[in-house]
Structure 1
């Protein structure tokens, strides 16, 4: 960026332009140590000892009797003198009326020295120095607390906004990938900051604020830093939670102080992260609504668009909860623009991966597009974590380059959890898990609307004993009825396989997650998406309102008992319909179920292509070191199976049927 494009505002090259803060702290501590030394000197000054060796009083009398004392100086507390050999001595004085006659008899020169009285000023200083020293240390500590956090005894109302400088790492739009539409929305803000006169000639006004809305990890904070990096203006950052304190009025004071700082550095950008912490809908609390958070929000609304215009200050805020923000915060004149920062599509994921892969030495077989196809729904933070996990895995293997194998292992770890190979499972549990996962896979293969299988494994990962992962061929933004029914059938395939192979009484609790998913999907189909002919295209789902202290502020949707019973019946019928479809598929393709379960028991993990090849040719085509590919034996050939008669919708009939 050329110097001509930089604003003529104050420069911010460091955190403090008024001197070296370390030198100031050093001088303060030197002053405290000097005061302590002065205090010790004054304390010991009244009892300073005269020169000479201290001798007992009896020894002093013996020396006088022997004629070895030349002269003495007597004070009320100390007697000092000189021996005949010119050596000095001293001893403590005691009341002795016979001392002076003895000294005169021995010819000792006698002199008297009165007790020294300290000056009045020295006496006052001596008594007040400890108190002054205590006050100085207390003032220094409070000053440091106020300076560092703005929360000292006199600094509750000070803003905690931090000035981001170039020393902390400059971020530009080149570092932001995968969210091109959001970036284009904000490039105009950058252009305005660089050249305001270009828009002012046509009567355009600088936007007051931009609200970045998106899921966690999509790059809202990174995008805000890129705006500051491109524009080259001061960038203040603060979190929404930094405004709110237990003391009423503190948050409003901090908002005022923040805008005062921003005015001095205008044009500038103020970034408020997680603004929903302070900008929630007013009136959602208890009492009369005159609480700290609402006062803070009121002050923020006034500062953004009140009687006093804050020209040159652009507020950029980020949140993943736009539904709870107050409407006054979103009106034109405050947050003029709401920029949606979505999860990236496949092209965006490719660009994000390429940005993060620049810092990693890659092997020739690494293909960013292949990785992007296998990571639908990943945010920018998820992809950064994926690249980092792959680099860590390559480092643990002492590799110099990160290969595609590490990226595949990292993707499995991120999506399915870390492998738990140390977990001890019995042969019966492994066989049950193999048939459970094979049931999911077989139903998925024979449901045309189902997503393709990416991988099936019976290695415990995370909280699951096994897993069948399906990946869509492309990014999907809406789901059709046939795919929903296919997902219901695939979800129930594991439970049906356990019942078909091991019998009704041996069905395990391993399908709890599948049942939870199927029930939630069926409930949404009936109550949200109008996919039940009996209920009709009417929404009966409970609204997701804002909650305060655990109590929902929205009223539940009222419905009659007959309607609720009809909804419950349709949800159960929808789930049991998926159960019946899964049962029909597995009953028809029972041999494929045995074959796939046997392969999972032998190889533990199979890819989607290997599963297709296995069911078509009888082997997976894998050449393991030291072995050759061979036909897979059916795993369930020797397993006894018992079946119960079926009731309506394909589910087992109750006892006695």
Structure 2
């Protein structure tokens, strides 16, 4: 692979400089040749009549005549020149006055000079036209002469190259692709047992999980040419251009085989054919058809491996996913706790860390984070430390960065009245107290009344480990937790003083109770049946809302069961807060004093113990210990009072 993406390895800057130097030199030569016939000796230009007058006066010392140009010096040694007409008496006048004169023969241009002089304009025109055409055809189809050229770029990373050592947290996906790299390095190892090199691999995963990073790692590991292109680069407004670009891309790949072609966001061109029931995009379908033929048609493209990435595999055409085209689908999931720790270690290598930073604690506190989220977390922590003028990034910056990423930035400019602040404290204290007393709730990690994002306060409950499902007891505990804030306000201020702050609590509790009844089969009266279709089901490329196909009697029963779950949760939360009203007051007062409490500090506060902070650290809690509480997944649009989001299955 040549440097600077040039086919001949020439530095493009030097190449452009040489072209412009050639153009300037040609222009200078042209001007010189054009002006050679009119160039004369130096001196002051005078009129011919004045020259004759000075000859008569005897003030001319000597004269040189060359092709009607008369030049010379006067008696005062000053130079002059003039243009002489055809004057046959000039020689006689000079002889009569005793003026020394000489004559130079007319210089006839040589044959080569005449040829250059006459052909130079045409050469300049041809050179400019060639230069313009080269610029139009540059970058594979960027101009009018290259519509059908492929936009695939040959990746030549020599500095900052990514390898599999830079990919962490997705070991299974890395092993699948490592096999492809090994196949390219030593194909005989697999061929001796009858194995064939795979035609393609499809990387499937949520945004930010590292699909493109994996592709770059393959490029860094494999000592073969690596072409990269986006799915949207194929489709143009002209029908047939996309198919032409697919053909040209595979022609380039054949010339460099064995090689790898990476197509990012392949769903832009690989959607299900026939989408829209007759109103499909002909250009996109033709492009997809050509891609299918090139990957596995009559002509086998041996040595070309296609690696594609998408986060929407459900919309891809089935013909694209069959064996022989994409032989393997590699799922790139969100990392678990071990993977998050490895990813954090990779990103922390570039950051100067304080001794108290523990990547394991941060990993345990960020379930559901993708690789991109973790990279953003480390970057935010570094920015916070730089803003404070620190030389090292401490655990406190990582905690603040985690709060900022998960709950939003602190709204320091927001001014709350003392009554609003106290209502927020009781609301969040109600959430926290229910989570501490109801079995099945996740451990309390942090509770704060500092406004963040769209929330005036947040109660943060975190599971002990990465969770992939929830039991019925856990979901009922979560329902009770949702109503802890509203009931705490009702107990303190009365039913007439309720505000709109619990709207998100009610929404989350209602959605969870309806899912328990209609999707999870947790209602004895309705049984193990699913009564809800996918609300955003993707069908032939369109998102359509499916109506609930239930009878009126069943719908009435569903509403009754949903109400029953809600009322049971309300009663459970009310009982906890009524029995522990003193603890509610203590926790609310601690929140008003410190604004933010960790789970351990909240437990000490309801017991009446000293929280253990210094005077200079009233509203910023210390980082939790490695074995304390573990964060839940990121909140889903927290409401005005920071209601916790339910943990879905």
Q: TM-score if structure 1 supplies the norm length?
A: 0.81
Q: CA separation in 1, counterparts of 2:456 and 2:396? A: 23
| 1:211 maps onto 2:184 in alignment | no
More displaced 10-residue stretch of structure 1: 68-77 or 500-509: 68-77
Is the contact made by 1:362 and 1:403 (CA closer than 8 Å) also made in structure 2?
A: yes
- Residue 187 of structure 1 deviates from its aligned partner by 3.2
Q: CA separation in 1, counterparts of 2:453 and 2:122? A: 62
Q: CA separation in 2, counterparts of 1:264 and 1:239? A: 21
Superimposed CA distance per residue, residues 176-225 of structure 1 (whole angstroms, 9 cap, x where no aligned partner): 22222223333332332232222222222111111111112222222233
Equivalent position to 1:341, from 314, 326, 332: 332
- Residue 357 of structure 1 deviates from its aligned partner by 3.2
Alignment of 1:620-631 (within 5 A): 620-625=610-615
Match of 1:55 in 2: 46
| 1:541 maps onto 2:536 in alignment | no
- Residue 85 of structure 1 deviates from its aligned partner by 5.5
Flag the 1:233–1:123 CA change in 2: closer, same or farther, 3 A. closer
Q: What SS does the aligned partner of 2:290 have?
A: helix
Match of 1:552 in 2: 542
Is the contact made by 1:439 and 1:497 (CA closer than 8 Å) also made in structure 2?
A: yes
Q: CA separation in 1, counterparts of 2:91 and 2:321? A: 101
Is the contact made by 1:530 and 1:539 (CA closer than 8 Å) also made in structure 2?
A: no
Equivalent position to 1:20, from 1, 10, 14: 10
Q: CA separation in 2, counterparts of 1:111 and 1:286? A: 97
Q: CA separation in 1, counterparts of 2:336 and 2:41? A: 90
- Residue 101 of structure 1 deviates from its aligned partner by 11
Match of 1:156 in 2: 147
Flag the 1:404–1:290 CA change in 2: closer, same or farther, 3 A. closer
Flag the 1:497–1:99 CA change in 2: closer, same or farther, 3 A. farther
Q: What SS does the aligned partner of 2:149 have?
A: coil
Alignment of 1:376-415 (within 5 A): 376-415=367-406
Flag the 1:572–1:75 CA change in 2: closer, same or farther, 3 A. farther
Q: CA separation in 1, counterparts of 2:523 and 2:318? A: 35
- Residue 429 of structure 1 deviates from its aligned partner by 2.4
- Residue 373 of structure 1 deviates from its aligned partner by 1.5
Q: CA separation in 2, counterparts of 1:100 and 1:173? A: 93
Alignment of 1:568-647 (within 5 A): 574-575=565-566, 578-615=569-606, 617-625=607-615
Computed over aligned residues only, the root mean square deviation of the Cα atoms, in angstroms, reads: 3.9
Q: CA separation in 2, counterparts of 1:74 and 1:565? A: 120
Alignment of 1:504-543 (within 5 A): 504-532=495-523, 537-543=529-535
Is the contact made by 2:533 and 2:548 (CA closer than 8 Å) also made in structure 1?
A: no
Match of 1:192 in 2: 183
Q: CA separation in 2, counterparts of 1:85 and 1:491? A: 112
Match of 1:426 in 2: 417
Q: What SS does the aligned partner of 1:315 have?
A: strand
Gaps of 5+ in 2: 620-649
Is the contact made by 1:251 and 1:293 (CA closer than 8 Å) also made in structure 2?
A: yes
Is the contact made by 2:593 and 2:618 (CA closer than 8 Å) also made in structure 1?
A: no
Q: What SS does the aligned partner of 1:154 have?
A: helix
Flag the 1:568–1:66 CA change in 2: closer, same or farther, 3 A. farther
Provide the aligned length of Structure 1 versus Structure 2. 616
Q: TM-score if structure 2 supplies the norm length?
A: 0.82
Is the contact made by 1:272 and 1:316 (CA closer than 8 Å) also made in structure 2?
A: yes
Q: What SS does the aligned partner of 1:468 have?
A: strand
Is the contact made by 1:13 and 1:166 (CA closer than 8 Å) also made in structure 2?
A: no
Flag the 1:115–1:540 CA change in 2: closer, same or farther, 3 A. farther
Q: CA separation in 2, counterparts of 1:553 and 1:597? A: 46
Match of 1:490 in 2: 481
Q: CA separation in 2, counterparts of 1:48 and 1:430? A: 92
Q: CA separation in 2, counterparts of 1:43 and 1:510? A: 87
Q: CA separation in 1, counterparts of 2:283 and 2:347? A: 42
Superimposed CA distance per residue, residues 207-248 of structure 1 (whole angstroms, 9 cap, x where no aligned partner): 111111111222222223333444433322222222222222
Equivalent position to 1:36, from 27, 49, 61: 27
Flag the 1:16–1:582 CA change in 2: closer, same or farther, 3 A. same
Superimposed CA distance per residue, residues 341-397 of structure 1 (whole angstroms, 9 cap, x where no aligned partner): 111222222222333334444444333322222111112222233233333434444
Match of 1:648 in 2: none
- Residue 304 of structure 1 deviates from its aligned partner by 1.1
- Residue 51 of structure 1 deviates from its aligned partner by 3.3
Q: CA separation in 2, counterparts of 1:528 and 1:43? A: 90
More displaced 10-residue stretch of structure 1: 120-129 or 598-607: 120-129
Flag the 1:111–1:566 CA change in 2: closer, same or farther, 3 A. farther
| 1:460 maps onto 2:420 in alignment | no
Q: CA separation in 1, counterparts of 2:390 and 2:422? A: 36
Q: CA separation in 1, counterparts of 2:3 and 2:86? A: 75
Is the contact made by 1:346 and 1:372 (CA closer than 8 Å) also made in structure 2?
A: yes
Match of 2:622 in 1: none
Flag the 1:127–1:591 CA change in 2: closer, same or farther, 3 A. farther
More displaced 10-residue stretch of structure 1: 523-532 or 366-375: 523-532
Q: What SS does the aligned partner of 1:311 have?
A: coil
| Higher RCO, Cα 8 Å, sep 6+ | 2
Q: CA separation in 1, counterparts of 2:119 and 2:565? A: 86
Q: CA separation in 2, counterparts of 1:213 and 1:223? A: 11
Is the contact made by 2:224 and 2:258 (CA closer than 8 Å) also made in structure 1?
A: yes
Q: What SS does the aligned partner of 2:286 have?
A: helix
Is the contact made by 2:136 and 2:145 (CA closer than 8 Å) also made in structure 1?
A: no
